[in-house]
Amino acid sequence: MKQPLIEIKNLSAGINGKQILKGINLTVRPGEVHAIMGPNGSGKSTLGYVLAGRKGYDVTGGSVTYDGKDLIELAPEDRAREGLFLAFQYPVEIPGVNNTYFLRAAYNEQRKHRKQEEVDAVDFLAIVKEKMKLLDLPDSMMKRAVNEGFSGGEKKRNEIFQMAVLDPKLAILDETDSGLDIDALRIVAEGVNKLKRPDNAAIVITHYQRLLNYIVPDFVHVLFDGRLIKSGGKELALELEEKGYDWLIGKNGK
Amino acid sequence: MTTTKSKAASELAAHLAACESFAASAPGPEWLRRLRRNGVTHFTELGFPTTKLEDWIYCNVAPIAKLAFKPSAGADASVTAKQLEPFAFPGWTGSRLVFVNGHFSPALSTLPAPQKGVTVTNLAAALTSGDPLVQAQLAHHAGLDASGFSALNTAFIADGAFIALAPNAVAAEPVHLLFVSAPGDVANTAQPRNLIVAGANSSAKVVEHFVSLGGAAHFTNAVTEVVVGEGANLEHAKFQEENLEAFHIATVQATLARDSRFLSHSISTGARLARHNINLVMIDQGVDCVMNGLYAVGGKQLVDHHTVADHAQPHCGSHEFYHGILGGSSRGVFNGKIFVRKDAQKTDAKQTSRNLLLTDTAIVDTKPQLEILADDVKCTHGATVGQLNDEALFYCRTRGIAEVNARRLLTHAFASEIVNRITVEPVREHLEQVLWARLEELIEKK
């Protein structure tokens, strides 16, 4: 069995003293896709933010080992440079910053961190073109300011595009399916599938089962009230689709 | 109290004496001499504004009155082309009119190639040649009613830029007006007076650029009158990068005729005290105007923008975007008036003022002032004062960008939003260079 890429042990975390995650245990190995499902308010987005290092989300217990390092000790930018990527549920608009410029700045900071040479604008454009073709994205997207005036679908595609260029080891997709129509959903999911390799992994956080029709997970976990209350294979997602969460919550609930 | 008062009175008296002697002796046709005398009379009545006046409440101009007052007599011949190199726009091949201490310098200037229907010259020359347009328009839009400073400028009318477009003329290239303050034995006062008259359906782009040589205090008191004819299209950019001891007071007064387009930019990074009045009056229907502005200041600088969008007629649109970046113990003021007169139905007026404070000691006062007398109008305004958006900072960091670089990126982006509206690329490039350096300073020094 491969070494874990990330090992979350008994993780507790919260905001402003309010406990939201109450002991999460999860191990993800290279090549795996894990889906985390759960009703609203169960702590799904909090888990994404805690792993990405958002200010205000305090870890109160447990540990997260990522690629052999203590993840919690790292600044958000260092987590990114070590190959962790969070695709936002609500990607942030940055008026005045060109999308290509932004991505090249990020790309080069990551390369610098890995003691690789920085890439100039011309070479970067070649990388961008290749990834855009892979994901079937329009050129015009790269000429605009980061996410500014993008439709919901364009924002999500831009997240996947950034992910394609930055080529993370572990991608966390936070509700990437929310607000997408079925075509946009398919495009986003295909992008994720194309980027899948034996040496990287993804945690797909989702509210609905429908995304999992396109991104087939190896493992499905149900998050409720800050804990993973059930884990299984991809068939668990179908069971949840059919029966909802109540039967599980009944057993574990408040 | 009495001593302060009498001191202020004696300072004012010195200015008045200078005005009177200039108005009495300066050359020009009778109508111009009368205009100057009117300026003197108005300035005598108004004096310098005090902070008791609502429009000057945050802008204390007392230090200007205290400056040893030396109206400059002509262009300083010692200024060299080399000294002006830092103020050239990258890749600029167009014309440039240089004014030293308010007076045209033919030696330092490059006039545009002659073009039918397009006049680009200096006011003194236009007065000498007796261009009837000058008499018809000069001081008909600004100068005698607004403030003591405009009146003072009018009392000293001598030189500045004169740009006129005949109906349907399209200026082949943008015009760069460079106003240089050169150091003198006492603080120089430059009072350029500019007149831009765009005939019906004409089109032009004009850049007013204010700079200093050396670091000594000086005073610029500029007035620009702009007349945009029916269906004409004018872009007016003003960039003030004077030294940090300078006092800069300026008014841009634009009269906008039916179906005209006016794009105004004001970028202000320099001066110890800078006051920009930008007043647009829509005198007929179908006008579309934009007021776009950016100030980036630090230390003890004060920058004050007072803008007016006067919707005198129906079916006009005004869109205003002002951004401020304030470091050190600087102070910013934004006061945006929107008048919608009784008959100005279907007005579409939009105003936003956003301010970024880089330190706890920087202050900004932003005030929208709406006076709406029509009932079928769309008017929106919004003002924000604060720090960089935490969410955007986090977003940058999750992509691998270090926090300090993310702050830099977002601060520059905030400035770029304004700069990007300028359509003349070499100007944008120059601004980006100057702003980049200025913002680095402000971020470093915070």
* Ranges A229-233, B64-68, B196-200: which has the least confidence: B64-68
Collect all residues of chain B within an 8 Å Cβ-Cβ radius of residue A109: 400-402, 405
Tell me: pLDDT of B414 over 90.
yes
Collect all residues of chain A within an 8 Å Cβ-Cβ radius of residue B415: 96
Integer Cα distance of B94 and A68 in angstroms: 61
Choose, out of B323, B399, B404, B422, the residue to mutate when testing the contact with A (most A CBs < 10 Å): B399
Q: What is the pLDDT of residue B145?
A: 63
In a domain, B121, yes or no: yes
Instruction: Quote the mean pLDDT of chain B.
Output: 92
- Given a contact cutoff of 8 angstroms between Cβ atoms, the answer to whether B107 and B150 are in contact is no
Asked whether the ipTM of the predicted complex exceeds the cut of 0.90, the reply is yes
Structural domain including A230 reads 6-252
Provide the percentage of residues in chain B whose pLDDT is more than 70: 94
- Highest-scoring range by mean pLDDT, B18-22, B89-93, B256-260, B385-389: B256-260
**pLDDT tier, B301 (very low <50, low <70, confident <90, very high otherwise):** very high
pLDDT in tens, B304-358: 999 999 999 999 999 999 999 999 999 999 999 999 999 999 999 999 999 999 9
In a domain, A1, yes or no: no
- Count Cβ atoms below 10 Å from residue A82 Cβ, excluding itself: 20
Chain B closest-CA separation from residue A239 CA (Å): 34
Q: Which of B101, B270, B276 is nearest to B189 (CA)?
A: B101
**pLDDT tier, A252 (very low <50, low <70, confident <90, very high otherwise):** low
3-state class (DSSP) for residue A103: helix
* Residue B254 C-alpha from the chain's centroid: 12
In a domain, B181, yes or no: yes
Integer Cα distance of A106 and A111 in angstroms: 9
Q: What is the pLDDT of residue B1?
A: 40
Query: What's the domain count of chain A?
Result: 1
Q: What is the pLDDT of residue A74?
A: 97
* Ranges A79-88, A231-240, B246-255, B318-327: which has the least confidence: A231-240
* Ranges A70-84, A239-253, B21-35, B301-315: which has the least confidence: A239-253
- Given a contact cutoff of 8 angstroms between Cβ atoms, the answer to whether B235 and B170 are in contact is no
In a domain, B245, yes or no: yes
- Count Cβ atoms below 10 Å from residue B101 Cβ, excluding itself: 27
Task: Count CA within 13 A, CB hemisphere, residue B238.
Answer: 27
In a domain, A171, yes or no: yes
Integer Cα distance of A24 and A227 in angstroms: 5
Average pLDDT over residues B246-263: 97
In a domain, B78, yes or no: yes
In a domain, A192, yes or no: yes
Tell me: pLDDT of A126 over 90.
yes
In a domain, B414, yes or no: no
Instruction: Quote the mean pLDDT of chain A.
Output: 91
In a domain, A216, yes or no: yes
What is the identity of the amino acid at A81? R
CB-nearest partner of B392 from A52, A86, A92: A92
Element (H, E) at A139: none
Flag if A92 and B414 touch (Cβ within 8 Å).
no
Structural domain including B366 reads 2-388
Chain A closest-CA separation from residue B362 CA (Å): 23
In a domain, B412, yes or no: no
Integer Cα distance of B426 and B414 in angstroms: 20
Q: Which residue of B has its CA nearest to A159?
A: B399
In a domain, B398, yes or no: no
Of A181 and A45, the one with more pLDDT = A45
Integer Cα distance of A223 and A203 in angstroms: 13
pLDDT in tens, B68-117: 666 666 667 789 999 999 999 998 988 999 999 999 999 999 999 999 99
Tell me: pLDDT of A254 over 60.
no
Tell me: pLDDT of B122 over 60.
yes
Which residue numbers of B have CB closer than 8 Å to A's CBs?
389-392, 394-403, 405-406, 409-410, 412-417, 420
pLDDT in tens, A159-215: 999 999 999 999 999 988 777 888 878 877 888 898 899 999 999 999 888 888 889
Q: What is the pLDDT of residue B3?
A: 46
Q: Domain holding A206: CATH number?
A: 3.40.50.300
Tell me: pLDDT of B5 over 60.
no
Q: Does A134 touch chain B (CB under 8 A)?
A: no
Flag if B395 and A85 touch (Cβ within 8 Å).
no
Tell me: pLDDT of B62 over 70.
yes
In a domain, B367, yes or no: yes
Chain B closest-CA separation from residue A218 CA (Å): 26
Q: Which of B257, B284, B410 is nearest to B341 (CA)?
A: B284
Query: What's the domain count of chain B?
Result: 1
Average pLDDT over residues A48-65: 96
Average pLDDT over residues B18-43: 87
Flag if A52 and B392 touch (Cβ within 8 Å).
no
Q: Could you tell me the CA-to-CA distances from B65 to B7, B12, B62, B304 in Å, in that order?
A: 10, 7, 5, 18
Q: Which of B184, B366, B334 is nearest to B268 (CA)?
A: B334
Q: Which residue of A has its CA nearest to B402?
A: A77
